Structure 1
Amino acid sequence: MLKVGLFVTCLADMFRPRMAFAALALLERAGCEVIAPRLQTCCGQPAFNSGDSADARKIAKKVIAAFEDFDYVVAPSGSCMGMIKLHYPELFADDPLWRPRAENLAAKGYELISFLVDICRYRPEGVKLRASATYHDTCSGLRELKVERQPRALLADVEGLILTPLPEVQSCCGFGGTFCVKYPSISNAIVEAKAKNIESTQADLLLGGDLGCLMNMAGKLHRRGSRVRAFHVAEILAGMGNGPAIGEEA
């Protein structure tokens, strides 16, 4: 049995715990022993993207120490896993002690859906949802981790779910972590275009693999008065598609 460390992510912890529970359920159904270390914290990406490499290294050291003894570290976020898998070795490139530890963790780090498909060969069974959906490929998941076919392969096994292609699917949603804070007018223009493309599909649901992107798009859709409801793909695969959508919890 694979021993998996679940990297919950800050956004799931603060805004969408049910997404983390969905990830846990899927990993256990795939036959994994799953533990979410209590000592885990942010992946350090906000500091890293802002040029604060010193604090990013401090945070990364805590993450490495918390997860390095697992067979794999898995996150329901291409953004966070991109940080761990690609940028931790970069942060410690000149550190003879921490570089091999960072590289070791990076080698066994996976985005959730990629891990389920590529490592566990998992396929959902008995999951039903009568709805139409469109899928947004997040920038980090798609470009850094090559997550594209995997979520679509698993969603194809959900009975009753019709997946409609999203126009300009590979374009950014405008979130970009701190980008939306530093450049709000540009971010808003980008997500406005994305929302129009989502609505053009006439889908009931918007699905994706990064909570930050989904929250950004769900917020814009809500402000536009749209009926489209947003879910993390893990929630649909875990059979949680009839619960509250992102932004509906309160």
Structure 2
Amino acid sequence: MDDSLRLARVLARYVRFLSPSIVEMVAEDNERHRFEWCGALESCGVDPSLYLWEGSPCAFPGIRRYAGSREIAQYRKVSGSAACPPDALSLDDNDFPKQIWSFVFRNAQFSKFGPEGYRLAHLVDHKEYKNRMGEDLVAASDDLVRVFPGLYTCPSNTAYVPASLLLPTDFNPWVRNLILRRSAELYGNCCNMFPSGLAVPGGQLRGWETGEFEWPECVGSLDHMDAFLRFRRKRMEKLIREAQAPLTSLSGIWRPPAILLSIG
């Protein structure tokens, strides 16, 4: 425990969170597009609640990280499948969560360029493999402990941490919980970080309260957020159009007799 606390005190001084106003702007824009994007996701066989729960700050609804060798092959076009992957419009290899960070600081699309010495960390797991949501969050009911791939691109669920401390942090539940509680303090009033019924646990051991640690100021401003929102809207339109294309082509294979179309 003492070693974990010492690690946490070092890490806290360097972990970087986006300004809450940035996360709030994404959540508000999601509400403006809720009807349109939920309908589009449903038309592609994707459950919108996995991405667009009420107050969700998901930056790219329908995008999730690939999982397993088959999906890696699909992402790299080895498999040649044109169908949408399960519960997603498209797969990604960790670029989409960084888009908002890139726009905030560079006013440009992410292109494999990031802050030297830092890595992007996800606070709560977003994939099924070895998912620790049941350990990290408190659930009002057992059925809520499930995979929510929308967490993949939620800026409230990411932070940049020193690359040399990423692995010790990821496998230390005390440190992970501390960073998650800090995120909840920052973003809990400007969005719903998780679907209703899921929450960050409280009641920490003495010495592990977030106020006992030295945290840096949040980073980023709203200067380039309009550009980011325009970019993501165009990207969402493209992803939806591509996901719907196979469905549209299949609709011409068989059509019921015209007399049936007039019934009702």
More strand by share: 1
Q: Which of 1 and 2 has higher RCO (CA within 8 Å, sep 6+)? A: 2
Q: TM-score, normalised by structure 2?
A: 0.27
> Larger Cα Rg: Structure 1 or Structure 2?
2
